[in-house]
């Protein structure tokens, strides 16, 4: 009540200005909202609409309701792809975030020589387009004439075949780690930079050592950044597509057409014209990603409290 | 005029092999196009259309299309051709399929390979060229390519190139190890063993599993794994006699580690073709131009021989790749589009095509002295076309692809590829491929029978 009374008491002119202000806000977000509706909400709704139909080469379109969703939930190839990215998420993301955190702390310690060179060289892979990065690694992994093959030949070793079906997921994880460690490092590093210097002074006075400072000041202060980076990485893992799809040309038998959920949806719609079923799979994956990202966020903020 | 075409169409339908087939074709064409009768055109109509200001859009990736389009525009200055390369192979078909599905945006003319043709023809996306009198062109093309564009009693494309298979081999490698050139598959396996024993880095060939190669090999062995009955009934049998004949040979190579595990068209593959670690290639007649550009260093070392056979002396081969050009139903100027096909896939276009490294499907070009007797410097002066043209005559007849072959090929690596990856039993892989293919066909509304 008390908050609304000044408005009620205000002269009409102010009131109308306030009302205009209310629309003014919409005017400012308008361009964003228009684009958001056009390129985000509308496609999602359209995908949902598509997912309720079935198109056959013989028979044409028909409305099938939730049949595509039921089919997806019982589709072993779909679950195979989901489990694969889940494994990828559980293994690759912690390794990458740990390396990024380590690099950020090293930068922040101020004890590094040529720190700006270090920073840029760790970050640089992120600037390499994923397609180029994957092609490059594909050449390195080549068993006959690639770097891997040459090292094996030269030293008479057998380091395994990175493109074989048992190693391919780890090989892709390696590419992703190489690509995104620098990006995450930058998130962590900028979060470290805004920690107030007073905290360090206080710690210094209390006689805390480097690792004590990291444990009690730095890590708790950048928990928010770690949460953000985790969520980005979760989303990135579930959307894994570029790397396996490009490597498939080099290792067709190690990477199936349903290697990741995105690849499965892509191949269903563009090789098999099953647009409707692919739409259902995309919607399920979207929901699944939101749920997992939310769980990650919740568990992150619980520690905060 | 119109009545004449209706009559021709009806006569064509009646002549079709089965009544059901004809009934369905007539049904679908009259059901989907509002003015079905206006689809065909006479020679005068086509000539008139080519003398009218028009723009045609052509989608294709074959490098020979560019000079063909230039020559076409020079001959018919009123027709402007937009040649667009929207992707190679599957990427191209994806865009084409999307445009067909969207109902607009498709080109007037599109390049379509023989194995993808049924998919577009049977889904009613292409114009039946019989309505334009394409039937008369039958004798201009080799039997196997004409058979590939002839589907369910209709003609859905005019052939451009063809790929009768032959064996390309490294004469220097065979000579160095004193191995004779294999003429049968048994000799081929033996040669593979000898070669790999003599030089552990050398392999008789490379193969990590390729759907087009597998189907062509089954084709050569006399298999007919895909049979179409009308446009909705399909039978898949990847364990027929021909398929088993092929796996009987290929399993020996695969299980004994005699196949170089290098994926075709990769950088490593071209290196292998250059340095002699891949000693032979069983591949379509369009390969020479690729060898010349991709394995320049091996100039003078490659030769061509007929494809090995199962029975000594009984020549048999198969088509591997190749395709033609089709007119889309969406085209607003079908007469001019067909006029383009007549040029591009007729005598004028096929000469330009052959002159630019393509392997023709037109009998006149294949039989011409200049083509047959051309000495190819890359192949040490061998008259390779003599071998390749003979191959085009030895193609085993009666093959057909599935109306959803592009999808079937896209899941090949999930099934047969697994057998390759684990050096397992190819028959198991083929069975898995058959099941996955049949499942997809059923989902798409086809009646699929498997054995």
- Given a contact cutoff of 8 angstroms between Cβ atoms, the answer to whether B317 and B389 are in contact is no
| Paired strand residues for B59 | B84, B110
| B429 in A contact zone (CB under 8 Å) | no
DSSP B360-422: B-BHHHHH-HHHHTPPBGGGTTB-HHHHHHHHHHSBPS-----TTHHHHHHTHHHHHHHHHHT
B421–A257 C-beta distance less than 8 A: no
pLDDT digit string (tens) for B71-127?
999 999 999 999 999 988 878 988 898 899 888 999 999 999 999 999 899 888 999
Partner-chain residue, chosen from A143, A145, A253, that has the shortest CB–CB distance to B413: A253
- Note the pLDDT tens digit of each residue in A213-266: 998 899 999 998 999 999 999 999 999 999 999 999 888 889 999 999 999 999
3-class secondary structure, B168: strand
In this prediction the pTM is 0.82
Residue to mutate among A75, A84, A253, A276, with most B CBs inside 10 A, is: A253
Cross-chain CB nearest to A58 (options B90, B440, B444): B444
Q: B334-344 and B43-50 are packed helices; what angle lies between their axes, rounded to 10 degrees?
A: 90
Interface test with B, best of A271, A278, A279 (most B CBs within 10 A): A271
Give one word for B319, left, alpha or beta, with left for phi > 0 and alpha for psi -120 to 50: beta
Q: What's residue B2's pLDDT?
A: 39
User: B451 vs B403, B434, B438, B448, CA distance in Å?
Assistant: 19, 9, 11, 10
Q: Which of A19, A88, A109 is nearest to A260 (CA)?
A: A88
**Measured between alpha carbons, how far is residue B238 from residues A78, A263, A272, B252, B255 in Å?**
26, 27, 20, 19, 20
Spell out which residues of chain A touch residue B407, defining contact as CB-CB under 8 Å.
Answer: 271-273
pLDDT tens profile B1-57: 334 444 444 333 333 333 333 333 333 333 333 333 446 778 888 999 999 999 999
Distance from C-alpha of B338 to C-alpha of B324, rounded to nearest angstrom: 13
- pLDDT of A265-301, one tens digit each? 999 988 888 889 999 999 999 999 999 988 988 887 6
State the Cα–Cα distance between residues A83 and B219, nearest whole angstrom.
38
Q: How far is A274 from chain B (nearest CA, A)?
A: 9
- Shortest distance between the Cα of A165 and any Cα of chain B, in A, equals 8
Residues from chain A contacting residue B429 (CB–CB below 8 Å): none
- State the pLDDT confidence band at A21, using cuts at 50, 70 and 90: low
Give A139: exposed, middle or buried? Use CB within 10 Å, 0-12, 13-18, 19+: middle
The dihedrals phi and psi of B164, each to the nearest 5 degrees, come to -60, 135
Distance to chain A for B263, nearest Cα, Å: 6
List CB contacts (< 8 A) between A57 and chain B. 122-123, 403-404, 444-446
Task: Give the Å distances, CA to CA, from B144 to A60, A152, A206, B40, B114.
Answer: 32, 47, 89, 26, 10
Helix (H) or strand (E) holding B160: none
Contact A269/A280 with Cβ under 8 angstroms? Answer: no
Distance, CA of B362 to CA of B350 (rounded, Å): 7
| Nearest CB neighbour to A139, from listed B267, B410, B420 | B267
The Cα–Cα gap between B318 and B306 comes to 11
Enter the tokens of residue B42: 């006479």
| Each residue's pLDDT tens digit, B337-392 | 999 999 999 999 999 998 888 899 999 999 999 899 999 999 999 999 999 999 99
Residue A209 has, within 13 A of its CA and on its CB side, a CA count of: 1
Task: List the beta bridge partners of residue B304.
Answer: B168
CA A79 to CA B91: how far, in whole Å?
Answer: 27
Smallest CA–CA distance, residue B446 to chain A, in Å, is 6
- CA of A273 to nearest chain B CA: how many angstroms apart? 8
**Residues forming beta bridges with residue A62, ordered by sequence position:** A54
Inter-chain CB proximity B421 and A253 less than 8 Å: yes
């Amino acid at each position: 009540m008390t908050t609304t009374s000044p408005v009620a008491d205000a002269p009409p002119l102010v009131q109308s200005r306030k009302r205009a202000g209310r629309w003014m806000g919409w005017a400012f977000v308008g361009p964003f909202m228009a684009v958001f509706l056009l390129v985000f909400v509308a496609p999602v709704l359209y995908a949902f609409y598509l997912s309720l139909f079935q198109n056959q080469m013989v028979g044409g379109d028909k409305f099938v309701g939730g049949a595509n969703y039921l089919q997806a939930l019982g589709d072993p190839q779909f679950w195979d792809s989901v489990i694969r990215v889940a494994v990828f998420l559980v293994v690759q993301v912690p390794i990458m975030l740990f390396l990024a955190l380590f690099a950020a702390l090293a930068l922040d310690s101020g004890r590094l020589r040529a720190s700006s060179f270090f920073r840029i060289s760790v970050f640089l892979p992120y600037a390499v387009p994923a397609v180029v990065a994957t092609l490059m690694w594909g050449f390195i992994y080549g068993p006959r004439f690639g770097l891997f093959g040459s090292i094996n030949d030269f030293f008479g070793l057998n380091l395994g075949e990175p493109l074989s079906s048992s190693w391919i997921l780890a090989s892709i994880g390696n590419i992703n780690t190489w690509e995104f460690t620098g990006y995450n490092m930058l998130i962590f590093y900028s979060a470290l930079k805004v920690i107030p210097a007073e905290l360090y002074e206080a710690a210094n006075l209390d006689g805390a050592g480097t690792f004590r400072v990291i444990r009690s000041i730095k890590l708790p202060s950048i928990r928010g950044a770690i949460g953000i980076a985790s969520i980005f990485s979760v989303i990135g893992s579930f959307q894994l597509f570029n790397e396996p799809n490009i490597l498939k040309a080099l290792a067709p038998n190690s990477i199936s057409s349903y290697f990741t959920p995105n690849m499965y949806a892509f191949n269903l719609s563009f090789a098999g014209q099953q647009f409707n079923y692919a739409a259902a799979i995309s919607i399920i994956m979207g929901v699944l990603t939101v749920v997992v990202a939310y769980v990650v966020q919740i568990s992150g903020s619980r520690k905060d409290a | 005029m119109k009545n004449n075409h209706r009559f021709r169409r009806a006569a064509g339908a009646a002549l079709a092999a089965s009544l059901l087939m004809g009934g369905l074709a007539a049904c679908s064409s009259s059901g989907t196009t509002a003015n079905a009768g206006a689809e065909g055109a006479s020679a005068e109509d086509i000539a008139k259309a080519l003398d009218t200001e028009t723009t045609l859009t052509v989608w294709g990736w074959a490098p020979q299309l560019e000079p063909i389009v230039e020559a076409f525009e020079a001959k018919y200055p009123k027709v402007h051709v937009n040649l667009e390369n929207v992707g190679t192979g599957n990427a191209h078909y994806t865009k084409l399929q999307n445009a067909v599905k969207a109902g607009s945006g498709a080109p007037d003319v599109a390049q379509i390979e023989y194995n993808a043709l049924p998919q577009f023809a049977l889904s009613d996306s292409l114009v039946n060229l019989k309505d334009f009198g394409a039937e008369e062109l039958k004798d201009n093309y080799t039997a196997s390519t004409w058979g590939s564009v002839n589907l369910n009693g209709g003609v859905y494309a005019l052939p451009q190139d063809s790929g009768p298979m032959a064996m390309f081999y490294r004469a220097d490698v065979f000579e160095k190890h004193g191995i004779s050139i294999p003429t049968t598959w048994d000799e081929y396996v033996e040669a593979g063993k000898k070669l790999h024993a003599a030089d552990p880095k050398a392999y008789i060939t490379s193969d990590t599993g390729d759907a087009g190669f597998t189907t062509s090999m089954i084709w050569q062995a006399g298999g007919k794994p895909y049979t179409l009955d009308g446009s909705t009934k399909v039978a898949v049998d990847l364990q027929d006699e021909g398929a088993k004949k092929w796996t009987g040979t290929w399993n020996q190579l695969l299980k004994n580690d005699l196949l170089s595990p290098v994926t075709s068209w990769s950088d490593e593959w071209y290196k292998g073709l250059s340095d002699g670690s891949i000693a032979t290639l069983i591949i379509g007649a369009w390969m020479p131009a690729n060898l010349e550009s991709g394995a320049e260093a091996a100039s003078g070392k490659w030769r061509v021989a007929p494809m090995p056979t199962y029975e000594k002396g009984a020549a048999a081969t198969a088509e591997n790749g190749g395709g033609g050009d089709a007119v889309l139903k969406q085209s607003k100027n079908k007469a001019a589009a067909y006029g383009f096909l007549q040029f591009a896939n007729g005598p004028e276009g096929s000469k330009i095509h052959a002159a630019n490294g393509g392997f023709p499907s037109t009998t006149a070009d294949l039989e011409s002295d200049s083509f047959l007797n051309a000495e190819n410097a890359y192949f040490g002066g061998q008259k390779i076309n003599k071998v390749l043209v003979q191959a085009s005559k030895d193609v085993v007849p009666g093959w057909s692809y599935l109306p959803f072959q592009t999808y079937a090929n896209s899941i090949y690596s999930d099934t047969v590829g697994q057998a390759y990856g684990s050096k397992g039993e190819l028959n198991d892989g083929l069975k898995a491929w058959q099941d996955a293919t049949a499942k997809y066909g059923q989902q798409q509304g086809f009646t699929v029978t498997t054995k």
